[in-house]
Amino acid sequence: QVQLVESGGGLVQAGGSLRLSCAASGSDFSKNPMAWYRQVKGKQREPVASITSGDITGYADSVKGRFTISRDNAKNTVYLQMNSLKPEDTAVYYCNTYVRYTLYWGQGTQVTVSS
């Protein structure tokens, strides 16, 4: 049903910024909660930020104050603005949604922060 495609990852210097995008299709995007997760090589995938259909947001403590999640329902897209990036933010970032008791994931986009 749902397809998610992340983009916007890359290599940045510590202290820099990136904006990740996740384009969704195959469902009523405006009704779906969305989230960003990240996964370091060899470690478990962990939640980073979430946003509800009513634009209520939540953040992991490790990114609070630095990252901002937002959505544009007209474009069926969710964003993750990442500022003041740290080397420990290096990971593959995944877009996620929950529709009718099913979880969907994008393919991931690599973010690398140099020290």
pLDDT 10s digits, 55-98: 999 999 999 999 999 999 999 999 999 999 999 999 999 999 99
The answer to whether the CB of 2 falls within 8 A of the CB of 103 is no
Closest CA to 32 of 57, 52, 2, 59: 52
The answer to whether the CB of 17 falls within 8 A of the CB of 115 is no
Adjacent-strand bridge partners of 74: none
Residue type (1 letter), 9:
G
Residue type (1 letter), 83:
N
Tokens of 22: 């996740």
pLDDT 10s digits, 10-41: 999 999 999 999 999 988 899 999 999 999 99
At 1 the pLDDT is 78
Most distant CA atoms of the chain, gap in Å:
42
